Amino acid sequence: MRSLIYLTLSCTLLSTCVFGYPHGQKNPKLSPAEIEEEISRLINDMILPEKLGQLQQLAGDWYGEVGPSDIPLVKQGLVGSILNVHGAARTNQIQRWALESRQKIPVLIGFDVIHGFRTLFPIPLGETASWDLEAVEQAAAIAAAEARSVGIHWTFAPMVDVMRDPRWGRVMEGSGEDVFLGSEMAKARVRGFQGGDYSAHDRVLACAKHFAAYGAAEAGRDYNGVDMSERRLREIYLPPFKAAVDAGVGSFMTAFNDLNGVPATGNKFLLTKVLRDEWKFDGLVVSDWDAVLELINHQYATNQSEAAMYALNAGTDMEMASRTYVTHGEQLIRSGKVSIETVNTAVRNILRIKYRMGLFDNPFIDENLESATLFKQEFLDAARNITARTFVLLKNQGNILPISKSIGKLAVIGGLAADKFETTDHWPGDVQWQDSVTMLQGIMTKLGVTDTNGQVTYAEGCDTYCRNTSVFDRAEQVARQADFVVVVVGEPREYSGEAGSMTNIGLPGYHLDLVKRIHSTGKPYAVVLVNGRPMTIEWLAENAPAILVTWRSGSMGGHAVADVLFGDVNPSGKLPMSFPRNVGQIPVHYDHKNTGRPIDKASGSLTERYRSKYIDSLNSPQYPFGYGLSYTRFAFENLQLNTTSITAEQSVQVGVSVRNTGQRDGEEVVQVYVRDVAASITRPVRQLKAFKKVKVAVGQTVRIELILKPEDLGFLDDNWQWKIEPGVFEIYVGNNSDTTMQANLTVTTAASEVIGTSTATAVPVTSSTTVNIGESSTHGAASSIQFSVPLIAIFLLLVF
């Protein structure tokens, strides 16, 4: 009998350690109610240090390892998540340590997978310039597959902050100035990262950040404060976050900034009233790095204990990097400053994600996936194709581009053209920059040359920072000997990204002087711009024959640039942010409000007096939102509405024909803007409400039908309810925000009932206004054998 008990107990322990967990998800498809029951049983069995431990996210060390002093914490179940550690073998070891703990709760592994992991795509601002939701979703899905193969469960992306100040370095990480485009991109990226089931072996948990209004930091200075009306917050800065919730995003990250006097990480209005109560979000909320501790620097908390109290009570579930929760949580509960129910709720939000991710069912990653997934040719091909679609052709005087492949001698000028390290950026994932393709390499490969002594010549001109002119003479000499010159100038990688704010967003160093030297030769040339933000390029706009914006374009950027320069790919990108003429115009965005004394936009006259204008510059940007040229020409014709009058409950169909009148097949982005002529609350001069990217062959005419729903004509009233008023609406259709093609629509009645709920969304979900993505492909979680402990015991009793 003693042997039987020993054998039964051994098998019980074996099944617990290898095949399942005491509170484990025996069935990865448990219903929501069953998951909540499992979580309740687990929480009831946890002691307070274990609960506080779940709220702690530790950071790996400089080398991506778990710090030696933190390993015992993992083994004791006092860590909920770890970031900056990856590698299948390494993350599996972390899970084995976690399974040594009393509760055997798996650890959530996080990493900044912003726009690629090993295969690097263009920066998110560049991806957005594609205006291609399907391509953006595909890029996120590839990043997810690579990240999950190395044991990462959670990415801190997408960043969905609306951004209207290009001085802010983090504009490279978002989707630009527009509410609607940003909302659609947020949904596409969430779909790409998570798919339909983020427990799948090739998906990760997405994180909408930074909640909220971080993109409105004063003076464009990173981490700076934000003060705005609730209307501006709800109409402009919150809608992309709501769109992420609608797409099923599993987590949120708090912002570094304070908002109207309350730091976001301790802001109960944001984290509880809006996110939980209004939007019914049930995922987890994590602070940004040290953001809980930084409540002290904000002069909001006097010490670490208060910082933990404010953040916990506001609704920040997990603390990244700093350790105020685990250090002061017990004392805060004893003193009554934080309730145990508050802690339990935070723990529940975290465990819910772990259950949904299938970590209780199987916390390990198949170690064979890593080598089979990273940087594979299929992903590189996709990166090359998607990257070329993000480039924006700003100018092409006399159709100087594309370059003929039979060009006699081509000069490539600029250190950025040949610097492999500069193919990456502030958020490079785990990219191996040595594997990236530079522009010089891409051009040489395109022309089939192996050195720079023949058809292709190269001169550095100046290094990445261009801080001196010592080798300008050599660059000019090489240019004079060429038949065509490609001049690559722009920003070094550290000039954009987090903490990359700048007061001067023109070409840095002597880059502009280099372009002027090439210009003085009289040789035909094109400027290739490497940038993480809109830049002030007034001289280039006036003088350079051609300008191609390539952003920071990632692993396959060199090949993609060559594809576009030589015409194998027709550029189709459109600006997601306006390019200002100078920093004095900032913020400059197309959907501004009108004034009582607006300037005549058609004339833009500097001589008009007593108008809302500058006396030394035009109001308009250098290049407007939505702008971008092609190697072919498109004509927009026959704009028609299926009706000119609707009630507030009806939709209207907008039809337009797009005709390719040029000599090349191409893609165009049809953009639909709405202007509410008069409303009880003043509205922007126009707002993007629909878009669609379409292919049009030479000589072909394509008819595009887009739907504007009642929600697209409304706004938030004083009670933050969606409202549609009767009146006249101007519908503009074209290929940028300055389009003049117009039709009028009359709404005859107000909405008979409030549309939607009391939320902060000003951009309703559209059904037929964008490219039909279709259903995202999903894969089930990796299967694992499950044995019931009682069944094993019964079996042993029968046998023995």
How many CA atoms lie within 13 Å of 168's alpha carbon, on the beta-carbon side?
29
Strand, coil or helix: what is 55? Answer: coil
- The candidate with the shortest Cα–Cα distance to 572, out of 130, 133, 176, is 130
Judge whether 132 and 418 are in contact, CB under 8 Å: no
CA-CA distances (angstroms) from residue 709 to 680, 724, 766? 20, 11, 8
Phi/psi zone of residue 45: left (φ > 0), alpha (ψ -120 to 50 degrees), beta?
A: alpha
d(Cα 462, Cα 357) in Å, to the nearest integer? 49
- Cβ-based neighbours of 670, under 8 Å, separated by 6 or more: 636, 656, 658, 691, 692, 693, 694, 704, 706, 733, 734, 735
Q: In the annotation, is 288 catalytic?
A: yes
What is the torsional sign of CA 377, 383, 386, 392? negative
Q: Rounded to an integer, what distance in angstroms lies between the CA atom of residue 213 and that of residue 231? A: 12
In sequence order, which ranges of 357-454 are alpha helices (DSSP H)?
368-373, 377-388, 439-447
Query: In whole angstroms, what is the distance from residue 562 CA to residue 442 CA?
Result: 6
H-assigned helices in 229-376: 230-232, 239-246, 268, 304-314, 324-334, 340-356, 368-373
Listing DSSP states for 5-40 in one string gives HHHHHHHHHHIIIII--TT--SSTT--HHHHHHHHH
- Amino acid of residue 381: D
> 330 with 48: CB under 8 angstroms?
yes
Choose, from 197, 288, 425, 676, the residue flagged as catalytic. 288
Half-sphere exposure of residue 60, counting CA atoms within 13 Å on the CB side? Answer: 20
Tokens standing for residue 480 = 């004079």
Beta strand pairing status for 484-490 and 525-530? parallel
Check if the beta carbon of residue 464 is closer than 8 Å to that of residue 509: no
Q: Which of 715, 724, 730 is nearest to 673 (CA)?
A: 730
Q: Is the dihedral of CA 359, 363, 369, 374 positive or negative?
A: positive
Copy the structure tokens of residue 546.
């051609």
The three-class DSSP label of residue 96 is helix
Instruction: Identify any residues that bridge with 746 across adjacent strands, giving them in sequence order.
Output: 645, 728
CA distance 51 to 56: 9
The CA dihedral of 244, 245, 249, 253, to the nearest 10 degrees, is 80
Contact 712, 766 (CB under 8 A): yes
**238 within 8 A of 187, measured Cβ to Cβ:** no
Indicate which residues carry an active-site annotation.
288
